[in-house]
Structure 1
Amino acid sequence: MSAPQDRRDLRGSWGTAEIAAPWPDKARLAVSFVVNVEEGAELSIGDGDEGNESMYEIREEVMKGADLCMESHFAYGPRRGYDRIVSAFKAYGVRATFSTCGRAARRLPWLMQDAVSVGHEISCHGWRWERHAGMTPEAEARIIADTHSTITEVSGQAPVGWHTRSAPSELTRQLLLDHGGFLYDSDCYDDDQPRIERISGKDHVILPYAFDTNDMRFSPGGGFVQPEDFSRYVAGAFDRLYEEGGHGARMLSVGLHLRLIGRPGRISGLEALLAHMSARPGVWFASRAEIARCWKDVAS
């Protein structure tokens, strides 16, 4: 009796021949820094939302009215954190992807335009900072369209990438293809290598993301306290993937947030990590759009 087709692929490329690293200049490893721009898009009763955001540096009971304290915490990212992060990237010639919520882009036009002017990519991260699981197809399609058009208008750069906060719906990927203009999404956490899926007759690139190599672990209970916690852990992942990159294609995603790694007590962790990575030859620091285009060219 044959087993039914499983909707989940738990095998991936295991047991098949490794794909040689396709990165430019024979690089061993592609490194993708993703800066999540969510400030101004977090849930806020003060903005007319149904509730307030509860995830930040401390755990408190969610307020029933406008939470000016939480709004102030989020405001730190664009006011101070952004400049520290882009300065660190500039020092090491790193191009990053700024994964941006549509409402944040609307509030932060200067940040979007500055990031583009120095060579960074702007991608889509939903309209508000929220999960899409459970949304109606009509509501989700509107969010995708509004986010894409707003970022295009504000930044002057049409986004080609998408990443949902944690949980997409079962239709998110199809809706991205229906909208058009999207080259890739990062709504998966299951590999260290990109892949292409054929959806409705179109090739769509999947770029895995990661929560472990991510400054979100500075949040309560996440395991990072000192800046060295971040730099040592991510450097360990980098070293391992760099080694594996000698016999197969690998990419490393490093997730950052303006309001987290941009703090004065943490930014040295990013600076130390960049120094560690830059000391190795054959490392390609690239935007996610660049990685997706490279992978699609090789696959086709």
Structure 2
Amino acid sequence: MNLDRPWETPEAEWRADVGRVRAGRRLVPSAWPGGARSALALSFDCDHETFELGAGRSAIGRLAWGEFGRRTGVPRILEVLAQHDARATFFHPAVAALIDASAIQPIVDAGHEIGVHGWIHENTSRLDRQTERDLLLRARDTLAHLSGQMPVGHRAAQWDLSPHTIELVAEAGFLYDSSMMADDDPYEPLVAGRPSRLVEIPVDWVRDDAVYLLFNREPATRPFTPPEAVFDIFRREFDAAHAAGGVCQLTFHPFVIGYRSRIWILDALLSHARAKGDVWIATHADIARRIAQDLELTRT
């Protein structure tokens, strides 16, 4: 693509770009476990210090900000999840896990999933294919060693994907990806028109706490949404998914949601979901496995 004059791009080129990775069939199973009407997929992106390191910076204050996520945010999150007997997925850049390997164990011991979130929270879209592949496999194997469980889920850092990301994730044997935004409910990504055999559990900025609550100097962003409004947005997303019988996927960050004045959002959402009485609150991996199982049954 010509960044300065995109209108001059030949049709064959923009069609190839658009067709590289597309959404295939929607993947909502015929029934959720236990007679549930819908599924709630909670995820926590444990960027920690790599929020700074992955941008090529090492400011002491910002590293401490990331450390807050591991030191304070994650324990508060685990406490709330335990109160509601809820399982969730914690996506980790491998470097964030290596900085304090002992912090992984309480997450695993509580029955939660560990997923891959890059090596050092690098921008995947800037990598050549071989480098991206090497970092993906290194991150997967490092997290497997630290957690004692082989990760089956991938989420690109910053949700930035290269033209090769989905293909590489499939080749590496992952069960699912959670980086794309082509639907509310899970679907199968197509790579150059071919089924990838991956389950995509889509994300979206509207369902991400950082969009509303993250303060940042560079690039300059300022929180402008009060916690009550964030809760209302997430609750409405959940209620609509529940009414449709689909999946509500939400993304949180321990160094964003983990503050005393914000952790109540997670608690209130879980209380609201449990009050429905027919919601399956599960890890991304369990949801992907349920979908894959259902599809396998329909193929035979």
TM range (shorter): 0.7 to 0.9
AA matched with 2:227: P
Distance 1:20 1:123 in 2: 22
Distance 2:161 2:190 in 1: 18
User: How far apart are residue 121 of structure 1 and its match?
Assistant: 0.3
Does the 8 A contact of 1:163 with 1:186 survive in 2?
Answer: yes
Does the 8 A contact of 1:32 with 1:96 survive in 2?
Answer: yes
User: How far apart are residue 102 of structure 1 and its match?
Assistant: 0.7
Where 2:198 maps in the other structure, the secondary structure is strand
1:285 is the counterpart of 2:281: yes
**Change in 2 beyond 3 A, CA 1:193/1:84:** same
Aligned to 1:110: 102
Aligned to 1:148: 140
Aligned to 1:57: none
User: How far apart are residue 285 of structure 1 and its match?
Assistant: 0.2
Aligned to 1:95: 87
**Change in 2 beyond 3 A, CA 1:11/1:297:** closer
Where 1:190 maps in the other structure, the secondary structure is coil
Aligned to 2:39: 30
Q: Find 2:260's aligned residue among 260, 264, 274.
A: 264
Aligned to 1:7: 19
Does the 8 A contact of 1:224 with 1:230 survive in 2?
Answer: no
Where 1:175 maps in the other structure, the secondary structure is helix
Q: Find 2:56's aligned residue among 42, 51, 58.
A: 51
Does the 8 A contact of 1:124 with 1:147 survive in 2?
Answer: yes
Does the 8 A contact of 1:41 with 1:102 survive in 2?
Answer: no
User: How far apart are residue 187 of structure 1 and its match?
Assistant: 2.0
1:240 is the counterpart of 2:245: no
Aligned to 1:79: 71
Where 2:276 maps in the other structure, the secondary structure is coil
Aligned to 1:135: 127
Distance 1:51 1:151 in 2: 22
Aligned to 2:3: none
AA matched with 1:276: H
Bigger mean CA deviation after superposition, 114-123 or 220-229: 220-229
Is there any run of 5+ residues in structure 1 with no aligned partner, and where?
Answer: 53-65
Distance 1:210 1:267 in 2: 21
AA matched with 1:174: E
Bigger mean CA deviation after superposition, 102-111 or 123-132: 102-111
Distance 1:214 1:50 in 2: 20
User: How far apart are residue 20 of structure 1 and its match?
Assistant: 6.0
Aligned to 1:231: 231
Aligned residues: CA RMSD? 2.5
Does the 8 A contact of 1:29 with 1:241 survive in 2?
Answer: yes
**Aligned positions, number:** 273
Q: Render the CA deviation track for 1:9-55: whole Å, top value 9, x for unaligned.
A: 888669xxx966421012111100001111132343xxxx7732xxx
**Change in 2 beyond 3 A, CA 1:67/1:223:** closer
Where 1:42 maps in the other structure, the secondary structure is helix
Does the 8 A contact of 1:125 with 1:164 survive in 2?
Answer: yes
User: How far apart are residue 189 of structure 1 and its match?
Assistant: 1.1
Taking structure 1 as the reference length, the TM-score comes to: 0.83
**Change in 2 beyond 3 A, CA 1:272/1:19:** closer
Distance 1:21 1:224 in 2: 40
Bigger mean CA deviation after superposition, 286-295 or 125-134: 125-134
Does the 8 A contact of 2:125 with 2:160 survive in 1?
Answer: yes
Q: Render the CA deviation track for 1:199-244: whole Å, top value 9, x for unaligned.
A: 6786221111122122112024576543222211111111111111
Q: Find 1:209's aligned residue among 185, 203, 214.
A: 203
Distance 1:287 1:224 in 2: 30
Does the 8 A contact of 2:92 with 2:114 survive in 1?
Answer: yes
Q: Find 1:218's aligned residue among 213, 216, 228.
A: 213
1:158 is the counterpart of 2:150: yes
Where 1:236 maps in the other structure, the secondary structure is helix
Aligned to 1:56: none
User: How far apart are residue 8 of structure 1 and its match?
Assistant: 7.2
User: How far apart are residue 130 of structure 1 and its match?
Assistant: 2.3
Query: Which structure shows the bigger proportion of residues in helix conformation?
Result: 2
User: How far apart are residue 71 of structure 1 and its match?
Assistant: 0.9
